[in-house]
Amino acid sequence: MKSAKSVVVLTGAGISAESGVPTFRGNEGLWKKFKPEELANFDAFIKNPELVWEWYKYRKQIIAGIQPNPGHYAIVELEKMYEKFAVVTQNVDNLHRRAGSKNVYELHGNIQRNYCIECGKEYPDEIIFSKAEVPRCDACAGLIRPGVVWFGEMLPADQWNASEEAASSADVFFSVGTSAVVYPAASLPYIAKRNGALVVEVNPETTPLTDIADEFLMGKSGEILPELVNALK
């Protein structure tokens, strides 16, 4: 790691677990209580925008009330150590930017964004929370939706292309707090490995990636990443 020039950190819900954001899978996972197909896809939204908005307002409120944790801050420290560095996140919680990370690619959007499905006009959260009913666009009366990527939707092309390029040229690639099962994000460590990167996984549990990872650091990211930064310093 000391001689690496280019480092990429892929993160998932686990990096935010110690901030109090529930993960999707695992024992405390959200998908145990809600079916993703009922909530996180466009057809479900059109059929039942009230339910989908109720769910996203609930998640927005959780995220607004929490803070980045030592895992996020350790990634900020890592960024300062390398010439080329990228955080590729599947999270929509904005905690990497709030912690101070600069080069962040958001593969699944950002929950603080909201936009009209008809004309694309953007709306801040205050407008969403000021309405008890389903929010509609003041320009064209279209439905306003959360700015996250749903199942069956394409990832934002610019974010994906930049992430793929970063993974291809990484010397060290970290996979942190992700169950590594949702594609295409889950393909990034394989792309990195094929191009010669050292692949390091940080997770309290094994995942489908563990077998091909060069190093598996078992534990919480909020504990392991600060230790790693200290060791590098």
Active site residues: 108
Near ligand OAD by CB under 6 A, which window of 93-101, 114-122, 130-138, 216-224? Answer: 216-224
- In the complex, least distance from residue 66 CB atom to ligand OAD, rounded to whole angstroms: 14
Q: Which of 6, 9, 21, 23 binds ligand OAD (CB under 6 A)?
A: 23
Apex 27 CA angle, 25 and 31, nearest 5: 40
Using the rule CB under 6 A, is 149 a contact of ligand OAD? yes
Q: Which of 54, 205, 215, 227 binds ligand OAD (CB under 6 A)?
A: 205
Pairing of strands 198-203, 172-176: parallel
- Kindly state the DSSP code that residue 186 receives in the 8-state scheme: G
How far apart are the C-alpha atoms of 80 and 93, rounded to whole Å?
22
141 membership: H or E segment, kind and range: none
Q: Mark 62-91 with x for binding to ligand OAD (rule: CB under 6 A) and - for no binding.
A: ----------------------------x-
Q: Which of 4, 9, 25, 101 binds ligand OAD (CB under 6 A)?
A: 25
CA distances from 142 to 113, 130, 147, 198, 227 (A): 16, 17, 15, 47, 49
Q: Which of 51, 66, 162, 182 binds ligand OAD (CB under 6 A)?
A: 182
Q: Which of 167, 220, 228, 229 binds ligand OAD (CB under 6 A)?
A: 220
Does a cis peptide bond (omega within 30 degrees of 0) precede residue 184?
Answer: yes
Apex 147 CA angle, 33 and 14, nearest 5: 50
Residues engaged in binding ligand OAD (CB under 6 A): 12-14, 17-18, 23-26, 29, 36, 40, 90, 108, 149, 177-179, 182, 202-205, 207, 220-222
